[in-house]
Amino acid sequence: MTPITTFFRNLEAKCCAACGQTINEQAESYATECFTCQEQASFDAYKHYHQKR
């Protein structure tokens, strides 16, 4: 049986891995960064991708 309560408990107290602020949004369970940092990371990856070309 899956310990579903533990799963949701882990979701509750999530903090951003990048800036450390608490994530209040309903982020995906595997997201370790807040929305702002995810946006920033995506933008950096986008820039990096285009610089390589």
To Zn ion, the closest distance from the beta carbon of 53 in angstroms equals 28
Q: To the nearest 10°, report the CA torsion of 12, 7, 41, 16.
A: 30
Tokens describing residue 20: 């450390």
To Zn ion, the closest distance from the beta carbon of 1 in angstroms equals 34
To Zn ion, the closest distance from the beta carbon of 47 in angstroms equals 18
Q: Which is nearer to Zn ion, 5 or 24 (CB)?
A: 24
Q: Which residues of this chain interact with Zn ion, rule CB under 5 A? A: 16, 18-19, 34, 37
